[in-house]
Amino acid sequence: MRHSYKIGFSFGSTSAIITTLGLMVGLHSGTGSMMVVMGGIITIAIADSFSDALGIHLSEESENVHTEKEIWEATLSTFLYKFIFTLTFLIPVLLFKLSTAIIVSIGWGLLLLSLFSFYIARDKKVKPWKVIIEHIVIAVFVIIATHFVGELIAVVGWI
Contacts with 141 (C-beta within 8 Å, 6 or more apart), sequence order: none
SS3 157: coil
Residue 1 has pLDDT above 80, yes or no: no
For the entire predicted model, the pTM comes to 0.91
| Band of residue 129 on the pLDDT scale cut at 50, 70, 90 | very high
The pLDDT value recorded for residue 159 is 55
| Band of residue 130 on the pLDDT scale cut at 50, 70, 90 | very high
Each residue's pLDDT tens digit, 78-87:
999 999 999 9
| Band of residue 4 on the pLDDT scale cut at 50, 70, 90 | confident
The pLDDT value recorded for residue 68 is 93
CA atoms in the 13 A half-sphere facing the CB of 150: 21
Each residue's pLDDT tens digit, 97-122:
999 999 999 999 999 999 999 998 99
Q: What angle do CA 89, 95, 96 make, to 5 degrees?
A: 95
> Are the CB atoms for 150 and 30 separated by under 8 Å?
yes
Q: Residue ranges per domain, the chain?
A: 3-156
Q: Per-residue pLDDT averaged across 38-63, rounded? A: 96
